[in-house]
Amino acid sequence: KWELEMADVSLERSLSFDSFRLIPARRLLLDGDKPVRLGSRALEILTALAERPGELLRKDELIARAWPGTHVVEENLKFQIAGVRRALGDGRDGRRLIVSNPGQGYSFVADVTVTERPSHQAARASDPLDRKHNLPVRLGSLVGRSQLVAKLVGSLARNRLLTLVGPGGIGKTSVAIAVAEQLIDTYEDGVWIVDLFPVRDPALVCTVVTSTLGIDTHRADPVASLVSALRDKRMLIVLDNCAHVIEAAASLAAAILRGTDRVHIMATSREPLRVEGERVHRLGPLETPPPSASLDAQGALQFPAVQLF
Ligand SMILES: Nc1ncnc2c1ncn2[C@@H]1O[C@H](COP(=O)(O)OP(=O)(O)O)[C@@H](O)[C@H]1O
Ligand SMILES: [Mg+2]
């Protein structure tokens, strides 16, 4: 399914409902013209539902779609559905988009309008798809990372490939988005984040990047045609979640660095890409209060990790 969708980068499908527009190929959900931050699994579930409005989707179908090839318990699905509903404001102000059929599954009850347009077509200037970035709106503020973000902004000016390395959940994506946000005006051809998490087949890494950038390519060699499309661009590409397709991500990054002068790349991964010219930053946890210190509540709030909870 994913492969078919990715193969056809020349027609871009969007699903509109309520105040939202979902563009599956770009992994992008817009509320009006603002991107909504939604994890890859939640986005996959929303896409499955919105593609078949009015139909009942069984829980096992949704689980197979969001966790392909893995066995997960139903609680995970419930959790993701709750996240989707929160992001859509479902149930607030009389909005009704997703209905649960207890014991069976879920259905999407809003009217969905499907539109398609060539991905390279120049649309109206006001079209949010023609904006210069696809960064999601941040839901909460980033705690305790402002010095690091400033440092990385500077580092990216000097290094064309910056990789944020660390274990899952440490804050790589959050920091990368915060850095990228500060650079929107620096790159005249935009700042684009590509989540590689849902990409199971390393051969599709390049295709996903290409379609996220809205570049239309027909040539046989996808990497060469992406690089040639980027040749004169001044752009920041954020490759998020490289770990499971690290070799494909690394060779694509290397090809882009070699074939362009002004495209910069920021990657997030558990491991460095090991590409020439890469600058690696290992992300540490937020500072926490020393265990020995006896602090009152006021004192504890001075530590970034405490402010978070
Ligand atoms: N400094 C921070 N301030 C507030 N929330 C944070 C911070 N760092 C991470 N989070 C939250 O913690 C969770 C995991 O962070 P994330 O950036 O996705 O980690 P990673 O990309 O390393 O897996 C997210 O929900 C994120 O919003
Ligand atoms: Mg991440």
304 lines ligand 1 (CB under 6 A): no
Interval 164-198: pLDDT, tens: 999 999 999 999 999 999 999 899 999 999 999 98
The CATH homologous superfamily of the domain defined by 132-282: P-loop containing nucleotide triphosphate hydrolases (3.40.50.300)
Query: What would the pLDDT profile of 49-76 be if each residue is shown by its tens digit?
Result: 999 999 999 999 999 999 988 888 899 9
Res 11: pLDDT = 66
CB 39: neighbour CB atoms within 10 A?
16
Torsion of CA 243, 247, 249, 254, to 10 degrees: 140
Indicate whether 292 pLDDT > 70.
no
Ligand 1 contact, 145 CB (< 6 A): yes
Query: Rounded to an integer, what distance in angstroms lies between the CA atom of residue 23 and that of residue 131?
Result: 14
What pLDDT, on the 0 to 100 scale, is given for residue 6? 44
- 308 CB near ligand 1 (under 6 Å): yes
9 neighbors 23 (Cβ within 8 angstroms):
no
| Percentage of the chain modeled with pLDDT above 90 | 62
Architecture of domain 2-115: Orthogonal Bundle (1.10)
Atom of ligand 1 nearest to the CA of 168: 23
CATH 3.40.50.300 domain extents, the chain: 132-282
Q: In what order do the strands lie in the sheet with 98-101?
A: 56-58, 105-108, 98-101
Q: Name the token pair of 55.
A: 């139909």
Would you give the end-to-end CA distance of the chain in angstroms?
40
Q: What angle do CA 134, 268, 202 make, to 5 degrees?
A: 85
Range(s) of the chain covered by CATH 1.10.10.10:
2-115
* Ligand 1: residue whose CA is nearest its atom 25: 169
CA–centroid distance, 269 to ligand 2, in Å, is 8
- Would you say the CB of residue 243 lies under 6 angstroms from ligand 1? no
What atom in ligand 1 is closest to the CA of residue 142?
Answer: 3
Beta strand pairing call for 191-195 and 11-17: unpaired
Q: What integer pLDDT is reported at residue 71 of this predicted model? A: 84
3-class secondary-structure state, position 98: strand
